Amino acid sequence: MQHILILETTCDETAAAVVTDSLDVLASVVASQDELHRRYGGVVPEIASRAHVERILPVIDAVLRRAKLTASDLDAVAVANTPGLAGSLLVGLSAAKALSLALSVPLVAVNHLQAHIYACRLAAGRDVFPCLGLIVSGGHTSLYRCAGPLDFELLGGTIDDAAGEAFDKVANLLGLPFPGGPAVERAARDGNPRAYDLPRPLVDSDRLDFSFSGLKTAVRYRIHPPGQAAAGAPLEARTVADLAASFQEAVIDCLVAKTMLAADRTALEVLCVGGGVAANSRLRERLAQESGKRGIEMIVPPPELCTDNAVMGAIAVERLKAGLTEPLSLDVAPGLVRKSTK
């Protein structure tokens, strides 16, 4: 049996996991930085990378302890090296390279977006490919044709803000805490999703793309009309709940419409959904309904495997088995994946 250590430091979670080559998860640790970024209402890259430096070794120690292993029991080290924040990615990559060199074990590269889809493979406990992949995270909202675990083709994605980013920014406008997604979802539970008539950008076009920037601005204008300063009295609880519910429904309408368009076009029969926004219960419910109508099997991981974690990096096992290991010259590939860049 082989033991693979996986590191994940793409954004603001310092995470590590140990899995076997048969995809058994022996241990998983996620050190969240939410507390550090809350006062700024969003992730501050420099703070994130410094926190990763402080946490990466204790997190590796903890995961090995929980797996009842020592470093010498490891057979490979995997690390997410793209996409993400440059400084954050570098911390995980440096740690993984050092371990790979010191232990003389292979280094495996993980694509963070592909790993989000692979979380569905782990949750299902069986093969899910070929499938349509929807990734809804803080930086990405993308549709992929996933022919196999090593074969992802980008079909479309957001042309501006990501869905999670829109949740975070709207939460900020509504005076809700960071991270915005869970806060908006909570507030929306008491709200009326039809209280505000918000736009559903691109929903009537035949493009497999998303756009959430205008929707965010539309919420901003419901709070403070154009030309009016953003400062003012706190919003009434009813207004917050209704705006949160109306915004959430608008985002979900866009996500569902384009995902179903992609399903119709590709004729794929399995839909795998990953990324932090996939933790949203209303999105899960709506995607399940629409998939059900088309006879598509929808797979979405439990919430803790939707938000960033290292377990999903078990996609490294597929690479390892295919002989896809990396030299120590492996670099990070930071930034966002957009259709024009890939």
Cα-trace Rg, the chain: 20
Q: Of Zn ion, ligand KG4, none, which one sits near residue 307, judging by CB under 5 to 8 A according to partner kind?
A: ligand KG4
Choose the binding region for Zn ion from 77-85, 249-257, 292-300, 301-309 (rule: CB under 5 A).
Answer: 301-309
Kindly state the helix (H) or strand (E) to which residue 15 belongs, with its residue range.
strand 13-20
Q: Of ligand KG4, Zn ion, none, which one sits near residue 201, judging by CB under 5 to 8 A according to partner kind?
A: none
Nearer to ligand KG4, 145 or 282 (CB): 282
Kindly state the helix (H) or strand (E) to which residue 103 belongs, with its residue range.
helix 86-103
Residue nearest to Zn ion (CB): 137
Nearer to ligand KG4, 156 or 181 (CB): 181
Q: Of Zn ion, ligand KG4, none, which one sits near residue 149, judging by CB under 5 to 8 A according to partner kind?
A: none
Rounded to a whole number of angstroms, the minimum distance from the CB of residue 112 to ligand KG4 is: 6
Residue nearest to ligand KG4 (CB): 181
Chain-centroid distance of CA 306 in Å reads 6
Q: CB of 128 within 8 A of CB of 299?
A: yes
143 backbone dihedrals φ, ψ, rounded to 5°: -110, 130
Rounded to a whole number of angstroms, the minimum distance from the CB of residue 307 to ligand KG4 is: 4
Q: CB of 119 within 8 A of CB of 274?
A: yes
Rounded to a whole number of angstroms, the minimum distance from the CB of residue 155 to ligand KG4 is: 19
Q: How far apart are CA 151 and CA 15, in angstroms?
A: 25
Rounded to a whole number of angstroms, the minimum distance from the CB of residue 323 to ligand KG4 is: 28
Q: CB of 152 within 8 A of CB of 342?
A: no
Give the dihedral sign, CA 159/289/300/185: positive
Chain-centroid distance of CA 265 in Å reads 24
Q: How far apart are CA 156 and CA 145, in angstroms?
A: 10
What region does 178 belong to: left with phi over 0, alpha with psi -120 to 50, or beta?
Answer: beta
Rounded to a whole number of angstroms, the minimum distance from the CB of residue 13 to Zn ion is: 8
Q: Of Zn ion, ligand KG4, none, which one sits near residue 279, judging by CB under 5 to 8 A according to partner kind?
A: ligand KG4
131-136 and 270-274 strand pairing: parallel
Q: CB of 37 within 8 A of CB of 24?
A: no
Tokens (6 digits) for 68 = 């009842």
Specify the residue for token string 């993984």: 96
Rounded to a whole number of angstroms, the minimum distance from the CB of residue 332 to Zn ion is: 15
Residue ranges that bind ligand KG4, judged by CB under 6 A: 11, 137-139, 164-165, 167-168, 179-182, 185, 275-277, 279-280, 307-308
Contact positions with Zn ion (CB under 5 A) in 137-156:
137
Q: Of Zn ion, ligand KG4, none, which one sits near residue 167, judging by CB under 5 to 8 A according to partner kind?
A: ligand KG4
Q: Of Zn ion, ligand KG4, none, which one sits near residue 7, judging by CB under 5 to 8 A according to partner kind?
A: none
Q: Of ligand KG4, Zn ion, none, which one sits near residue 242, judging by CB under 5 to 8 A according to partner kind?
A: none
For residue 334, cis peptide bond before it (omega within 30 degrees of 0):
no
Asked if 308 is part of the footprint of Zn ion (rule: CB under 5 A), the reply reads: yes
139 backbone dihedrals φ, ψ, rounded to 5°: -110, -15
Nearer to ligand KG4, 139 or 313 (CB): 139
Write the interaction track for Zn ion spanning residues 15-54; mark x where CB under 5 A is met and - where it is not: ----------------------------------------
Nearer to ligand KG4, 76 or 122 (CB): 122
Applying CB under 5 A, the residues found at the interface with Zn ion are 137, 308
